Every structure is written in C-alpha cells, then in structure tokens.
C-alpha cells in the first residue's frame, strides 16, 4: 500500500512504528495548451511519488491537485488558489501528519518553478514551528542534467519536457495533433529554466496580457511540444524517479 487514503488507521500506526517519512505530491489544475490536460502537473507529481514510493516502501499523502496559477486563468478550466492559502493548507497538512508521528516530508511538485515560492514559505514555517524536515523536489531543478542530454529545449509550458513525460505515463490524455510550437519569448536577462547558466532576473508569473498573446498564438503552450516523444519521456521520468529514490533513501 502506497497511498495514505487507502489505509486504515491501524495500518498508519504500524507504518509509523517503522518509518516517519511521507511524500506529498502537489500539482495544479491549469490549462496545458490544446494538446495536454489540465491535470498534467498533478498527474506527473502523483506518478513520480507513486513510482518512487513503490521502490522504497514509503507512504504518499493524497495528491494536492491545486496550485498557484494566476497567469493561466485566461483559458477555461484553470483553478488558481492564492499562494498564502496554499501555504497555510500545506502547513496544516504537515502539522496534522506530524501530530501522528511523521517527521520527514518530501513535497513532490509537478507545477514546476511556479509553486516553489509558497512551498518554500510553508516548508520554512513547518520546520521552524514543528520538529520536522521538509524537502522540496521539483523536476525543473532535478532534470537539469538529463534534459540537456536528451536534447530538450528550455522549460516552457506544456512543452516537450512535460508532454513527453505525459505521453510515457498516460498517452491517451495527449493529442499531439493539436500541439503548437512557439519561439522562446526572448527577454534580455530573463530565463525561467534553472538549468541555464546565464545571468537572469528571478521568475515572475506572466501577466494576463502576456498570457492572452500566448493563448492566441499557441492555445496556451510555450516551447516545442511537437518534438515530444514517449521514449524521451520514459528516460526523463526514470531519471526523476531515481533522483527521488536517492532523496528518500538519504532521508530514511
Ligand atoms: Zn505543467
């Protein structure tokens, strides 16, 4: 059993007799272009957590399918929760679980980069007030080596990185015939992808005006989603699972 919500409370007590670590998958519900589903980030976080948990026999908390997505509200279906609300929500989840004896938390974030600020604030809040450790695992930071090796372009949105991973994990949810590529919106000294060793300003979510342009040009994606490939997605996913297993084993 991997998922907390599938267990009965005596099972949780028995788990806590042996281990005090739990994974917390966090994603978003936001538009991912015409070719990928709104649940892309949550699905990726869920599968990363599930596959790493299976290899290490640790538990996962129920996935949090909501994230901070103010810039994606330009297209239908997106749900954006205010970052301070998410920070408090995550703190409450950690506080509840820590009261039962969980001490080590690894957040697995599918909503790359954008969820990180409030995750960091919640992690700091939890570590300073509760006797816990909270690590944040974000693919954008953990795929730097493999992304270049596999020839992927820059981190965008619903680009070839997450679309390839999704085509490996759940191909029936992707309609690549609807994918539209776009050239990087070059802004001097601005780059979202943390893997490029160049001088940059810090990431700030796009404005609604900027996103309206993206929506009109590509249907909501940025990057080169037509280059997506399930085999590259499999290698990317396995790299990320291996890294997550490393983090879990070094925490146990
Ligand atoms: Zn995404």
Domain ranges of the chain: 4-251
pLDDT at 135: 98
**C-alpha 252 – ligand 1 centre gap (Å):** 29
DSSP H or E stretch at residue 9: helix 9-18
**C-alpha 131 – ligand 1 centre gap (Å):** 32
**C-alpha 162 – ligand 1 centre gap (Å):** 6
**C-alpha 15 – ligand 1 centre gap (Å):** 32
For the domain made up of 4-251, give the CATH fold: Rossmann fold (3.40.50)
Q: From CA 222, how far away is CA 75, in angstroms rounded?
A: 14
**C-alpha 16 – ligand 1 centre gap (Å):** 33
**C-alpha 67 – ligand 1 centre gap (Å):** 11
**C-alpha 27 – ligand 1 centre gap (Å):** 8
- Please list all protein residues whose beta carbon sits less than 5 angstroms from ligand 1, which is an ion: 40-41, 162
CA 131, chain centre distance (Å): 25
Q: From CA 174, how far away is CA 178, in angstroms rounded?
A: 9
Question: Mean pLDDT of successive 10-residue segments in the chain (252 residues)?
Answer: 97 98 98 98 98 98 97 97 98 98 98 97 98 97 96 95 98 98 82 88 92 94 97 98 98 93
Q: From CA 154, how far away is CA 185, in angstroms rounded?
A: 11
pTM of the model: 0.96
pLDDT at 185: 64
Q: From CA 65, how far away is CA 97, in angstroms rounded?
A: 19
In this structure, what token pair is assigned to residue 87? 């920070």
pLDDT at 38: 98
């Amino acid at each position: 059993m991997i998922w907390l919500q599938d267990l009965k409370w005596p099972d949780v007590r028995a788990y806590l007799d042996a281990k005090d670590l739990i994974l917390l998958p966090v994603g978003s519900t936001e538009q991912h272009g015409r070719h990928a589903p709104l649940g892309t980030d949550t699905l990726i976080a869920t599968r990363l957590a599930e596959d790493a948990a299976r290899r290490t026999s640790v538990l996962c908390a129920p996935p949090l399918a909501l994230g901070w997505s103010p810039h994606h509200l330009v297209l239908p279906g997106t749900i954006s929760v205010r970052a301070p609300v998410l920070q408090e929500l995550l703190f409450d989840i950690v506080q509840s679980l820590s009261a039962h004896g969980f001490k080590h938390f690894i957040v697995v974030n599918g909503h790359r980069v954008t969820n990180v600020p409030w995750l960091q604030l919640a992690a700091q809040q939890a570590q300073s007030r509760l006797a816990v450790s909270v690590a944040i695992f974000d693919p954008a930071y953990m795929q730097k080596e493999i992304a270049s090796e596999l020839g992927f372009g820059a981190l965008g949105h619903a680009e070839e990185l997450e679309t390839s991973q999704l085509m490996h994990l759940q191909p029936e949810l992707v309609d690549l015939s609807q994918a539209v590529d776009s050239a990087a919106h070059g802004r001097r000294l601005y780059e979202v992808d943390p893997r490029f060793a160049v001088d940059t300003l810090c990431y700030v979510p796009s404005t609604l005006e900027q996103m309206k342009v993206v929506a009109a040009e590509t249907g909501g994606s940025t990057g080169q989603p037509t280059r997506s490939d399930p085999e590259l997605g499999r290698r990317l996913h396995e790299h990320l699972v291996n890294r997550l297993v490393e983090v879990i084993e070094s925490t146990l």
